[in-house]
Structure 1
Amino acid sequence: MSNSKYRLSKITIENIKNTEYGEISFPVQGINNERKAGLLGIYGANGSGKTAVIYALNILKTLMSGYALDNDTYNYITKGKNEAKLKFEFDFETKDLISYIAYEFILAKDNDEPLYVKDEKVTYKRQEDSRTIVLIDTTRDESTDLLFSPKLKYEHVKKDKDTLIDLMVSSKMAHEKRESFIFRKETLDLLKDKWERHIEYHILTLLNKYANFNMFVILDNKYNHLPFFFRIADEKKQLLQYGEIGLRYGENEIDTDYYNICTRVVSQLSLVLSEIVPGVEIKIKDYGQVTLKDGSVGNRIELMSKKNDVEIPIKYESEGIKKIISILSALAAMFNHQGVLVAIDELDSGIFEYLLGSILEVINDTGSGQLIFTSHNLHPLEVLDSDNIVFTTINPLNRYIKFTNVRDSNNLRNFYLREVALRATGQKEIVYDDIKKHKISKAFRKAKNYSE
């Protein structure tokens, strides 16, 4: 996937958290431009739907990678609703394919029954196609016994009865395990030699690999360890290793493979960190070899920060430094590879605003991949174009908007604050439900009775 180019072009969200409906279209960066990042910042009040976008992307990555959703995904569906619908649209370009591709699905819950995935659909339209083509659609028609449509494709696969039975089992397992039927490894393996048009199977595997190798979704969870989201390639940009690793604060006993990954990742991160936070480095302190629980030989290590020749355990560093370290490897991959997407919740958490603005400026001007982030810090509004910013509204049925009437001479930060305070910029939706200061004061006085 090293020479491939991918862009997420649009997200449609229905009934995720407090977003009953919202659409986000991403800036058109020109897929043939080798060095142009696609940045999108999501801004808005607390509880206004920013993190719903990151949740949606995390769901996409999980399902399209062929993994099971967590139990708590059940709670992501808007309260009072039984279903959530998500649709993701992409522009893909590889050496043998230039195509629009879309993947949509429904998350459903029936009363107290476990969450499950249904009505999955993949469509595509290549440059040479005159219309959008349905590749596979698992929406069930009660009048037929089709496992999926289009019917002609299903009938072709159905010729092999053993394959059909195995697909029925895969469908049942996907339902029970909160997985995608389409992107389960078992389903993809079964369809490999049964799909009439090779290009369509190729599209499914491209989506699967994209989610596994090129998507990094970083939620603002409070970890008891330091997470590293990494993607390691060789000199020819061929992918070697990818994923997430976590080192607990304090000492860790890890196997040799894990140790080699950690050593390489930390070495790369330290180079970037020392430029972002001058004088600060990170390193692995190796206490030597140990015998692990399985009897194999590993190493006992601890992650350290170093400044002015003084080393301290990373657990005593500031939250801002920890946040920067945890996202740096994924940002580096996104900066250097057009096919990588990184989504970060609360990017500004603990990071000095001027530094945040500088990082985003560098990525926007000279990076290659896509970065989607939520933030409360308004400084990036002064360094990014208005096309790179989406604002949340107080309308759950139209949760995301881009500002209109913004001139090149306008300072977007001031423009936004003027809309928040005065609603004076002519937007069709309200972006902030004005608070009443006297009511806050009254509430604090009432709270006195509970604090004495």
Structure 2
Amino acid sequence: MWKSIVRLSSLTIKNIKNVKNGTIIMPHEYNRGFDCGGAEILGVYGQNGSGKTAIVDTFSFLQQIMIGEELDQRIADYIDTDSESAEVNAEFKIFKENILYEVGYYINFSKGDNGICIDREYINCAINQDGSRTNKNVFMDYRRNETETIFKPQKRLEELIGKNKDIKTDLIVAKKMAEKSNCSYIFGENSRDIFFNNVSDKFKIYVDVLSALFRFALGDLYVIDNSHSGMISTNVLLPMSFRVDKEKIGMKGDFAVPLMEPFVLDSERKELLKEIVDQINTVLYTIIPGMRIDIKEYGKQALDSGEDGWKVELMSVRGNKKPIPIRMESDGIIKIISILNALIQAFSNASICLIIDELDAGIFEYLLGELLDIFSKSAKGQLIFTSHNLRALEMLDKESIMFSTVNPNNRYIHMKNVKDSNNLRSMYIRSITLGGQEEPIYEETDSLKISRAFRKAGKLLHEERKKSCDGNS
């Protein structure tokens, strides 16, 4: 099961934040070969408030759902204020030996008296094998309001149950548990136990698909949202996204390192931090010439449990200079350190999908371009990012860039009429001012109105100060 390579093909969202309807498409979406084809990069560009972060937020919620966690009630705040429901449809390709599965996972969220819930979810699949492709058919369709049905289609349900009627009872219980826990029925823990342990030959293909998607969400999907940059800019925490594979046991997550003062770790987390730092240092010195990070130990200190702990601090070392605490480095360098382990994973693993909001935050423009160019030419995994820095438009192919539009019903588009000799950055800026694309990509601002508004605000401020001075006198 671990040998499967899962790749995102596209993501469609409806009624999420200010996106009525929008689809992002990965560069290899239309490639149906059995080779996943190396690195895929997709950068999403657009003016402020045009739906870029909605993509990252959706991936974050999608990951939680696909690993069976309870539905985050914050989703209710993300649903468009004029709507009572929202939709997400993620398309994947699963590469396994000489088989290619084209899989879609659809979710419908709805608001209710008790908060947000999954009203419907289904998975469909087409199989490419031995030179032929099946139709893309739904093999599991759960609907919350259909209390008399476990899931549709009935044929797949019968294949799963077979002659063991106890499985039917278990599936009914799993459905009730998913609704009580407010989690996905398809990916909920109780359902997974039934699906993954099923020995029916007829249902085995679908078990392979479900397990591959679950393991992808659990171990291969990284979502780095704006909270990372927020913690860094407040100089409170350094959240290092990481994955460590050790003796067939993988660990993945965010290792939050306090920046304000030394901190205490148990022996296991101290060893984990050392592995993360060693991986980062392998690349860091080439990005920030001559720099590495060290773990400074202050000695043993008892934990609350009574066990031995170690008081440590992350230090920045450059050449023969005296080490300094990592918090003394710039936000840009700390940002690079926070995402570097995840970038290393995406560079070397074809099944990794890394999503980063505002990749350019604090990173020097030229360095950003170099990193993207290296990734596009040599990496194996997928990278999706949002950015305001236009350097990427000069470094990546046109298929690797999408732009948010003014139209909420068609929120993301590729630039049209782009030739290989064109500078995409220049075309984008020209399209902002002159148009000519499928949709307007910039909601026009009036510099005269802005200037007038600033003068008006300054005049009001001056009058308030004058009143305050007259009152004091």
TM range (shorter): over 0.9
My pick for the range that moved more, 337-346 or 310-319, is 310-319
Deviations 1:223-262 (A, max 9, x none): 2321121122369xx5633222211212221222111111
Equivalents in 2 of 1:189, 1:256: separation in Å?
A: 33
Determine the structure 2 residue equivalent to 1:375: 387
**Is the Cα contact below 8 Å between 1:42 and 1:392 reproduced in 2?**
yes
My pick for the range that moved more, 1-10 or 71-80, is 1-10
Determine the structure 2 residue equivalent to 1:16: 16
- In the TM superposition, what are the counterparts of 1:124-203 in structure 2 within 5 Å? 124-128=125-129, 129-140=133-144, 142=146, 145-155=148-158, 157=161, 163-194=167-198, 196-203=202-209
Deviations 1:155-178 (A, max 9, x none): 453975654444344334433444
- In the TM superposition, what are the counterparts of 1:1-400 in structure 2 within 5 Å? 3-28=3-28, 36-95=38-97, 97-110=99-112, 112-128=113-129, 129-140=133-144, 142=146, 145-155=148-158, 157=161, 163-194=167-198, 196-221=202-227, 222-223=230-231, 224-233=236-245, 240-249=250-259, 250-308=261-319, 309-400=321-412
Q: What's the % identity of the aligned pairs?
A: 38
- Aligned-pair distance for 1:430? 0.1
**Is the Cα contact below 8 Å between 1:12 and 1:86 reproduced in 2?**
yes
**Structure 1: stretches of 5+ with no match in the other structure:** none
Equivalents in 1 of 2:300, 2:209: separation in Å?
A: 45
Q: What SS does structure 2 have at the residue aligned with 1:217? A: strand
**Is the Cα contact below 8 Å between 1:146 and 1:154 reproduced in 2?**
no
Equivalents in 1 of 2:43, 2:369: separation in Å?
A: 12
Q: What SS does structure 2 have at the residue aligned with 1:115? A: strand
Determine the structure 1 residue equivalent to 2:469: none
My pick for the range that moved more, 60-69 or 380-389, is 60-69
Equivalents in 2 of 1:174, 1:285: separation in Å?
A: 46
Q: What SS does structure 2 have at the residue aligned with 1:11? A: strand
Deviations 1:257-293 (A, max 9, x none): 1111110101110221111011221111122222211
Once superposed, what is the RMSD of the aligned Cα atoms?
Answer: 2.2
Determine the structure 2 residue equivalent to 1:411: 423
- One-letter identity of the residue aligned with 2:412: Y
My pick for the range that moved more, 38-47 or 217-226, is 217-226
**Is the Cα contact below 8 Å between 2:6 and 2:213 reproduced in 1?**
no
- One-letter identity of the residue aligned with 1:13: I
- Aligned-pair distance for 1:150? 1.1
**Is the Cα contact below 8 Å between 1:227 and 1:245 reproduced in 2?**
yes
Q: What SS does structure 1 have at the residue aligned with 2:185? A: coil
- Aligned-pair distance for 1:369? 0.3
- One-letter identity of the residue aligned with 1:219: D
**Is the Cα contact below 8 Å between 2:156 and 2:203 reproduced in 1?**
no
**Is the Cα contact below 8 Å between 2:59 and 2:223 reproduced in 1?**
yes
My pick for the range that moved more, 426-435 or 93-102, is 93-102
- Aligned-pair distance for 1:17? 0.7
Deviations 1:147-199 (A, max 9, x none): 21111333453975654444344334433444211111211102334455112
Determine the structure 2 residue equivalent to 1:436: 446
Deviations 1:111-152 (A, max 9, x none): x5311123110111111452113221102565x710211113
**Is the Cα contact below 8 Å between 1:231 and 1:239 reproduced in 2?**
no
**Is the Cα contact below 8 Å between 2:220 and 2:352 reproduced in 1?**
yes
- Aligned-pair distance for 1:2? 6.0
**Is the Cα contact below 8 Å between 1:35 and 1:366 reproduced in 2?**
no
Equivalents in 2 of 1:268, 1:172: separation in Å?
A: 44
Q: Which has the larger radius of gyration?
A: 2
Deviations 1:280-338 (A, max 9, x none): 21111122222211222222211111224222222222110111011100110000011
**Is the Cα contact below 8 Å between 1:124 and 1:133 reproduced in 2?**
yes
Equivalents in 1 of 2:263, 2:448: separation in Å?
A: 52
CA distance 1:234–1:158, change in 2 (3 Å): closer
* TM-score of the pair, normalised by structure 2: 0.89
- Aligned-pair distance for 1:79? 1.6
Equivalents in 1 of 2:187, 2:385: separation in Å?
A: 26
> When the two structures are aligned, how many residues end up with a matched partner?
446
Equivalents in 2 of 1:444, 1:380: separation in Å?
A: 33
**Is the Cα contact below 8 Å between 1:290 and 1:299 reproduced in 2?**
yes
Q: What SS does structure 1 have at the residue aligned with 2:323? A: strand
Deviations 1:47-93 (A, max 9, x none): 00001111111111111112223332221111221111000111111
Equivalents in 2 of 1:192, 1:367: separation in Å?
A: 32
- Aligned-pair distance for 1:392? 0.3
Q: What SS does structure 1 have at the residue aligned with 2:74? A: helix
